Amino acid sequence: MSLNNISSNKIFGGWNKQYTHTSTSLNCEMRFAIYLPPQIAQGKKVPVLYWLSGLTCTDENFMHKAGAQRIAAELGMAIVAPDTSPRGEGIADDEGYDFGQGAGFYVNATQAPWNRHYHMYDYVVNELPELIETHFPVTQQRAISGHSMGGHGALTIALKNSKNFSSVSAFSPIVNPINCPWGQKAFTGYLGKDKETWQEYDATVLMQKSGAKLPMLVDQGSEDNFLVEQLKPEALVEAAKTVNYPLEIRMQPGFDHSYFFIASFIEDHLRFHAKYFI
């Protein structure tokens, strides 16, 4: 599978690059960003943190706003940020910001017309890591993190694929999508009206089914506008209690849902993941 490099910027001794490629999972051209730390210039292979962004975001939001590259360079960690959905002419879309292009929800859609392109779960779990490990000097050590819709994606993907990741973290994740408006809209459209199928993409349900217990860190801002209606972190806390899951969840006073919040605590998250890389 060929890659097309469309941008390259040196930062903290490493390189922030963007690539496009033809995705077999999504049946369209996709774009992702990757930060390659300075250690690769010394001939070293490095572990990878996969970052999943939230509603309306692209691969650029995290790389431009989070300020993660400085710490990734110190720790010797690559960061990969895919786009949040398939995009382009001929790909199904919706007028709302919370469904369709920019809002793939990291599921495999089963309902037409979405099932032609919207297989973000397969893309993140299988295709993208294979692509990264084939084309870049990285190890097979992986961690995963994300924000909001991407936090939902990170938690559910890690819980369903615990052998693929050494740790998982999230900022302001949608932890119980089957019981919030964002999730109900997306799941009805992508997965249909059978709510039993929705449970395969709900972190609170998956946590109670998961035998493995990956290290998990969640940060949530106390002044997040979406806290009560959409995010419901208390549901994840209750799920963790029922199975004694090693969840570390921190309510951060005064912080909202923005990238100012992410930038304030991203160093904690990168150091958290670095502890579990061999």
Q: Which residue is catalytic, options 148, 166, 167, 172?
A: 148
- Domain containing 86 equals 4-276
Model confidence at 212, in pLDDT bands (50, 70, 90)? confident
Average pLDDT for the chain:
97
Q: Which residue is catalytic, options 119, 147, 152, 257?
A: 257
Rg of the chain (C-alpha set): 17
Total number of domains in the chain: 1
Is 122 assigned a catalytic role?
no
CATH of the domain at 14: 3.40.50.1820
**Given a cut of 90, is residue 210 above it in pLDDT?**
no
Check: CB of residue 97 under 8 Å from CB of residue 104: no
The residue to which tokens 């936090």 are assigned: 151
Model confidence at 133, in pLDDT bands (50, 70, 90)? very high
Burial group, residue 253, by CB count within 10 angstroms (0-12, 13-18, 19+): exposed
**Given a cut of 80, is residue 1 above it in pLDDT?**
no
Is 257 assigned a catalytic role?
yes
The residue to which tokens 């690559």 are assigned: 78
Q: Which residue is catalytic, options 25, 152, 224, 269?
A: 224
Is 117 assigned a catalytic role?
no
Check: CB of residue 72 under 8 Å from CB of residue 66: no
The residue to which tokens 């994740």 are assigned: 173
User: Is the entire prediction scored with pTM above 0.95?
Assistant: yes
What span, in angstroms and rounded, lies between the C-alpha atoms of 21 and 155? Answer: 26
Mean pLDDT for the stretch of residues 171-185:
98
Model confidence at 130, in pLDDT bands (50, 70, 90)? very high
